[in-house]
Structure 1
Amino acid sequence: MSTAAPSVFEADLPTFTYGFTATPHDIFDDVRAAQSRAPIALGPLGPEILSYELARDILRDNRFRLPPGITLAAQGITSGPLYDKMAGSLLGLDGPPHVRLRKLVSKAFTPRATARLQDTIHEVVNGLVDRVLDAGRCDVVTDIARSYPTPIICALLGAPREDWPLFADWTEEVFKALNFQPEVTFDEAQIMRAWGELDTYVDDMVAARQSNLTDDLLSELIRAESDGDRLNLDELRMLVAGFLMAGTDTTRNQLAASVQVLCEHPDQWTKLRDHPELAMQAVEESMRHSPAASIVPRVAGEDAEFGGYMFPAGTFILVNTFVANRDPAIYHDADRFDITREDVPPILTFGGGAHYCLGANLARRELAEALVVLTRRLAAPVASDRPRGSHCSE
């Protein structure tokens, strides 16, 4: 008798559909209903992993890979210089090349490197609040969150303060290729021009440090060595751009989403204001309950049996970390927002396995400091429309 697992497409799994402008909250009831029936369902783009345990496991399973250049491919761009640049970034690599770079980069991206940014983080967020206090009101998204992460990434890399606006401009331009909106088009040549200017700037930074290494991240990357292997100039360029891309948009969107959910729960805002020691728990809980990045794409690199089903090679899969982070089998009263939760399993918002977010510690530190300052210095928050999420996490 055959014991082969049924195809995930032929197993009578629950199904749901949604439009591509829908937010996770718009479709939450339908997805939760599917989750109550099975840990996997069929969504409009293919199988979606809904349970916490299967989501955690598939993120650690090397048979399922990050699709290269997925944001551009979704817009019909599957070749050319921009696609090649995006697919060759740390966000786009997989397999041995990805493992090699992670091994080198992890030697530089240490908690010590992020800890020394504490003063900069404090200064940046307080400076942004100073600018809005006199007005008596602010839009957290545009007045604070949007401008918050880039200066911190610049300080981490060691770029001089007077050049931070350049990095902000380059990042905004490159992000036009990353934030997929069906109705938005972008100028590929203009993006490549901005990226080229960033590369040239990084070349000059590297040249200056070859004879005078300092204690910034770029110097640490130049120093990084594993069994005689070092990063070359192309890789250094690629990593700087990758840190800007990965460390800017998701952090600012998550800050907006975290403030939003705190505004929707005034008792939690007050609790954090009165107990700033809860800041890290507030970050974890807001990223669990209201994450800015809520899906992680994967593609089956081979025919793979997983979770009791067969996934044919090439199957596009969405790991729905939004609903997995609210799995009632894992979290008590999973839909409740409570910054005092303790002894809970790690959230899946930073991904997992080989592609676990390198900058997770820095992001947590940035968000925690911002939430402490905002709850202390801004009074009577009022929630407006919920901010939309950003591109997928790695």
Structure 2
Amino acid sequence: MNMQQIPEAAVPPRVDPHTLMDDPHTKLRRLREDHAIVSFADNHVLALRAEDVFAAPTDPRTKQIDGIDYVRLNKIPAGYVARLFEDIFLFGNDETHRAKRGLFARAFSFQNIRRRQTGIRAVAEDIVAGLPRGEPFDFVEAMAARLPAEMIADFLGLPRLDSRYFASLVYDVAMAITPIYPTAMHDTIEAAARELFTYIADALTSRLKAPQDDLLSAIMVDWHEDPVIPFDSLVHQVIAVIIGGTDTTRAGFAMLVSLLLQHPEQWEAVQQDHSLIPGAVSEALRYDPPVGTITRLVTAPLEIGGFRLQKGTILKVSVLSALRDPAAYAQPDEFDIHRTDHPRLHPIFGNGPHRCIGEVLAKLEMQEALAALVSAAPDIRLIDVPTMIGFGGIRQITRMTTKID
């Protein structure tokens, strides 16, 4: 559409974001059928359709919202949480983003992660071997949370025994990455951010005094020789890596197993043919993803769905909606591990300069964990089906009760 034909006063229909928290798939589907875009507030909109959602991360008229704006828009009080989100590379752009992300680029390279495949499988098999038999247990706590936390501990060089401790702090801090900041939980989030900062700062400082053969030591030695960012900022970037490497994989893997167990024929197919596992992982991440929205800032006027968005508009793109869009996927509301219409690059990991740095690690963890589970516990049963809560940011998953006979 020619932008000159769009009325200046045209605004998308207004939606209360709180109404999307429950049963978001149904509500987003109904909105998407009639609207390409809806608004939450003045200059704050949500794009719903795949063509717009998938294009936004690389559209030169938008950029990643920066941390200062994120904190301001969410009215996060001054303190550890605010300083963390103002600084982490997840909410950065251009050279600042490249410098901070670059601290970890070599460690997260495809070749380096692939070298860890055997170790990932060994950790997964050890966890599966230790799962309770003959009694109900929470799968999220007993396996889905343990694997990414223990792997990121190994990856960075933190004690594996500390993984449960720092992961619990991460889960609290990750509550801040949501379209509706949980103000009532701020004290909990703030306390967790403060404790996590102290834990990582101490780990880095100890490696400057006594370097070890691990990633944190390598990062600290490089930083000491060329301190491109302040020490507090270095701590923040390590925390960002831990957040990205634990909470989303925890929810994603639990939902993967839940969906397969709800479709016994597909669970059995994966047992019989492990070559189906990568497709199963991709399909679970599409069907009920652990990340619901990505937030962009409009930097030059653009048009979506017949509406002109002015510079300065906060543009949330609903990955949750787009991954169920029939314009992008055949029969999108069906869970099908045999699906052949996945794009080459899975949209859940973003695109452009901000594509998830830990994508290869997350996929490999989920694939190896599923292979270990179907091999050693094929008779696991689902008792309580978990729910992924929320429509945006990092979504939370409820308890998932299972039993291995």
Contact 2:57 2:350 in 1 (8 A): yes
The residue that corresponds to 2:99 in the other structure is: 100
Deviations along 1:170-217, whole A, 9 cap, x unmatched?
5356446557545434253563244123212122224433xx6x4x43
The residue that corresponds to 2:112 in the other structure is: 113
Deviation at 1:141, TM superposition (A): 1.6
- What TM-score, normalized by structure 2, do the two folds share? 0.82
The residue that corresponds to 2:57 in the other structure is: 59
Contact 2:144 2:254 in 1 (8 A): yes
Aligned length: 384
Q: Distance in 2 between matches of 1:257 and 1:97?
A: 35
The residue that corresponds to 1:260 in the other structure is: 258
Q: Distance in 1 between matches of 2:227 and 2:326?
A: 46
Structure 1 residue identity aligned to 2:105 = S
Contact 1:16 1:34 in 2 (8 A): no
Q: Distance in 1 between matches of 2:24 and 2:112?
A: 40
1:184 aligns with 2:189: no
Deviations along 1:205-236, whole A, 9 cap, x unmatched?
24433xx6x4x4335646879xx996775554
Structure 2 residue identity aligned to 1:205 = R
User: 1:78/1:168 Cα in 2 relative to 1: closer, same or farther (>3 Å)?
Assistant: closer
Contact 2:21 2:389 in 1 (8 A): no
Deviation at 1:316, TM superposition (A): 2.2
Moved more, 50-59 or 37-46: 37-46
Contact 1:5 1:305 in 2 (8 A): no
Identity of aligned residues (%): 25
The residue that corresponds to 1:155 in the other structure is: 154
Q: Distance in 2 between matches of 1:14 and 1:261?
A: 34
User: 1:112/1:229 Cα in 2 relative to 1: closer, same or farther (>3 Å)?
Assistant: farther
Contact 2:207 2:220 in 1 (8 A): no
1:342-361 maps to which residues of 2 (within 5 A)? 342-345=340-343, 346-361=345-360
Stretches of structure 1 lacking an aligned partner (at least 5 in a row): none
Moved more, 129-138 or 53-62: 129-138
The residue that corresponds to 1:373 in the other structure is: 372
The residue that corresponds to 2:198 in the other structure is: 196
Q: Distance in 1 between matches of 2:324 and 2:66?
A: 25
Q: Distance in 1 between matches of 2:143 and 2:193?
A: 25
Structure 2 residue identity aligned to 1:41 = V
Deviation at 1:137, TM superposition (A): 3.0
Contact 1:18 1:44 in 2 (8 A): no
Q: Distance in 2 between matches of 1:229 and 1:181?
A: 35
The residue that corresponds to 1:4 in the other structure is: 4
1:198-347 maps to which residues of 2 (within 5 A)? 198-209=200-211, 214=213, 216-218=214-216, 221=219, 233-305=231-303, 309-345=307-343, 346-347=345-346
Moved more, 347-356 or 154-163: 154-163
Of residues 14, 28, 33, the one that matches 1:31 is 28
Structure with the higher fraction of residues in helix conformation:
2
Structure 2 residue identity aligned to 1:186 = D
User: 1:263/1:76 Cα in 2 relative to 1: closer, same or farther (>3 Å)?
Assistant: same
**SS at 1:32 equivalent:** helix
User: 1:165/1:8 Cα in 2 relative to 1: closer, same or farther (>3 Å)?
Assistant: farther
Q: Distance in 1 between matches of 2:201 and 2:227?
A: 22
Q: Distance in 1 between matches of 2:301 and 2:35?
A: 21
Contact 2:279 2:338 in 1 (8 A): yes
Contact 2:25 2:320 in 1 (8 A): no
- What TM-score, normalized by structure 1, do the two folds share? 0.84
Deviation at 1:249, TM superposition (A): 0.7
**SS at 2:261 equivalent:** helix
Q: Distance in 1 between matches of 2:118 and 2:361?
A: 13
Contact 1:351 1:393 in 2 (8 A): no
RMSD: 3.3
Q: Distance in 2 between matches of 1:155 and 1:74?
A: 36
Deviation at 1:58, TM superposition (A): 0.7
Q: Distance in 2 between matches of 1:256 and 1:349?
A: 16
Q: Distance in 2 between matches of 1:99 and 1:8?
A: 37
Contact 2:169 2:192 in 1 (8 A): no
